[in-house]
A and B are shown apart, each in its own frame.
Chain A
Amino acid sequence: MKVMVPVKRVVDYNVKVRVKSDGTGVETANVKMSMNPFDEIGIEEALRLKEAGAATEVIAVSCGTAACQETLRTALALGADRAILVETDAELQPLAVAKLIRALVEKEQPRLAIVGKQAIDDDCNQTGQMLSALLGWSQATFASKVKVEGDKLVVTREVDGGLETVSISLPAVVTTDLRLNEPRYVTLPNIMKAKKKPLEVLKPDALGVDVTPRLITLKVSDPPTRKAGVKVPDAKTLVEKLKNEAKVIS
């Protein structure tokens, strides 16, 4: 079974983003970029399936500018077998990405796509579900445990009140939650090896996908800021303030 894992290049999770003064977006020039953390978990899960003998090949794919090659090299250094970049400078929204990945799925015929549950830049949480719908596949979002059982997957999902376990038919899309696994580190020898692994570059046109955005971002602004309040010396003063000043307890 081939496994496909889409990876997105995003502003590193440790960077405090700044809104551009002209309100067109956030500052991404000279900012550290990394693989979306949920996608790293996706790569790790695919590698574990391969190591357990359940997967035969792990294909990392990305959609975006030429710089995404760097993200794909990271995926290869982690252990993915090969990589495909759909290269475009156009703004890509989740529906367009899902369509591009569907085209790659049709080309490569994986039986499983492991997708990060959300990208930490646009926080959309859509691409995996959209991909699954476009392919007519089953889906299990927010996975914290994945087990292959014949032609089915048993997936434990993180839901609002606790955990839920579903059995879904392959082929399937699984989206990763934080506690699915702890990704391994990239080692220097593996970075060197990754340079020799195949990385194919395609254009959206070659896949016959129209990536025109459906949503127009009118502006991006700073959220209202919260001012720091006061430090109080003890529990007694705190209770007094909560009762008489904030009036949140009686």
Chain B
Amino acid sequence: MSILVIADHDNQALKGATRNTIAAASEIGGDVVVLVAGGGCQAAAQAAAAVAGVSKVLLADSPLYKDGLPENLAAFVVGLAGGGQYSHVLASATAFGKSVAPRIAALLDVAQISEIISVESADTFVRPIYAGNAFATVQSKDKVKVITVRATGFDAAAAGGGSGTVESVPAGSDSGLSTLLGRELTNSDRPELTAAKVIVSGGRGMGSAEAFKVLEPLADKLGAAMGASRAAVDAGYVPNDWQVGQTGKIVAPELYFAVGISGAIQHLAGMKDSRVIVAINKDEEAPIFSVADYGIVGDLFQVVPELIKELG
């Protein structure tokens, strides 16, 4: 049995979630083959070959795959996996993986299983539904299982220690359907939200974009990523890629600070698997306190500076 993992990468390096997906593949069992399709992506392929548990890397280096657009890539993967060479095709539940995996499944005429958080057996998986308010255990009868993997469900495979071989494969054809015009990526010295050990998030209670600056020294002190609730994003306080929740990012850091966040179920869905949750809110009835390990009822504009001082 061989499992094909479609790497999410930026041509230079693997995105963090790819190693969690490789870990899920190892748990299913069998040879783990990673497809690195990109343009000038040799470095990412080498990184994939070094990940623990990877037996082989397929390197498809072509301008067609440079920007990770789904139409050409899905057709290419179907060419690789359409003959029954792989029992499973896995992608990370990232914006990239979620765009391409359902296309692959539809072209293979199989179901796609979204955002699994655990592997029960080679054909049975657990996935959250209703914003994580219920867990469904689903079994696939399809010959190929196409799956996206939620990173928080699996500990990342080690970045080193693997000894996979790298094999170049020829690119497929060009559908000519889409082109990338540009990207506006948020530049930040902070860790990536989905990979951070500590996250400091603010909500509507922050009151303004300027108020988020109050959280910055706290995040600096803790080496934390910064996040936000949907309410704060909708209010325009912070960019949308900060959003943690059902329809934003799903995170599970060691330590999560929810500051001025009331705790709507959509937000809890994105962070309630964090190991330790701290809530700071002036409303002592706020639902966030029902999931927080430690809560402080008070004005965040007083509590946060005190906290920074106490952290020394």
Q: A and B: partners?
A: yes
Mark A residues whose CB is within 8 Å of B. 11, 13, 16-17, 19, 26, 38, 93-95, 98, 117-118, 120-134, 136-142, 144, 154, 157-169, 177-179, 213-223, 226, 228-236, 238-239, 241-242, 246, 248-249
Q: Which of B102, B124, B310 contacts A235 (CB 8 A)?
A: B310
Q: A141-B99, A169-B178 are in contact. Are A217 and B183 (CB under 8 A)?
A: no
Residues of B close to A232: CB separation below 8 A: 294-296
Residues of B close to A125: CB separation below 8 A: 98, 102, 114-115
Would A228 and B292 count as touching, CB distance under 8 A? yes
Summarize B's interface: helix, strand, loop or mixed.
mixed
Give the complex CA separation of A242 and B294 in angstroms.
Answer: 9
List CB contacts (< 8 Å) of B112-150 with chain A.
112-115, 124, 128-142
Give the complex CA separation of A216 and B125 in angstroms.
Answer: 11
Instruction: Check B276 for interface membership: any CB of A closer than 8 A.
Output: yes
Would A226 and B272 count as touching, CB distance under 8 A? yes
Residues of A close to B111: CB separation below 8 A: 93-95, 213-215
Would B184 and A162 count as touching, CB distance under 8 A? yes
A9 to chain B, nearest CB (A): 15
Would B307 and A235 count as touching, CB distance under 8 A? yes
Which 7 pairs from chain A and chain B are nearest by CB? A129-B102, A229-B293, A214-B111, A138-B177, A235-B306, A130-B106, A126-B102
Would A98 and B71 count as touching, CB distance under 8 A? no
Give the complex CA separation of A94 and B100 in angstroms.
Answer: 15
Would A230 and B295 count as touching, CB distance under 8 A? yes
Instruction: Check B79 for interface membership: any CB of A closer than 8 A.
Output: no
Mark B residues whose CB is within 8 Å of A. 15, 69-71, 74, 94-96, 98-107, 109-115, 124, 128-142, 175-186, 192, 194, 198, 222, 230, 233-234, 239-241, 246-247, 249, 254-255, 265-266, 272, 275-278, 284, 289-297, 303, 306-307, 309-311
Q: Which of B15, B180, B307 contacts A164 (CB 8 A)?
A: B180
Q: Which of A222, A239, A242 contacts B134 (CB 8 A)?
A: A222
7 A-B pairs with CB atoms under 8 Å apart are A144-B240, A160-B241, A216-B138, A228-B292, A235-B303, A248-B275, A249-B255
Q: A123-B115, A223-B134, A235-B310 are in contact. Are A165 and B181 (CB under 8 A)?
A: yes
Residues of A close to B310: CB separation below 8 A: 235-236, 238-239
Residues of A close to B291: CB separation below 8 A: 226, 228
Q: A137-B177, A214-B110 are in contact. Are A228 and B289 (CB under 8 A)?
A: yes
A1 to chain B, nearest CB (A): 17
Would B137 and A217 count as touching, CB distance under 8 A? yes
Residues of A close to B180: CB separation below 8 A: 164-166
B42 to chain A, nearest CB (A): 22
Q: A118-B247, A179-B234, A229-B293 are in contact. Are A139 and B184 (CB under 8 A)?
A: no
Residues of A close to B105: CB separation below 8 A: 95, 126, 130
B186 to chain A, nearest CB (A): 5
The chain B residue sitting closest to A141, CB to CB, is B99
Residues of B close to A238: CB separation below 8 A: 278, 294, 296, 307, 310
Would B140 and A160 count as touching, CB distance under 8 A? no
Would B234 and A178 count as touching, CB distance under 8 A? yes
A243 to chain B, nearest CB (A): 10
The chain A residue sitting closest to B113, CB to CB, is A215
Would A122 and B135 count as touching, CB distance under 8 A? no
Would B181 and A94 count as touching, CB distance under 8 A? no
Residues of B close to A93: CB separation below 8 A: 111
Give the complex CA separation of A223 and B106 in angstroms.
Answer: 30
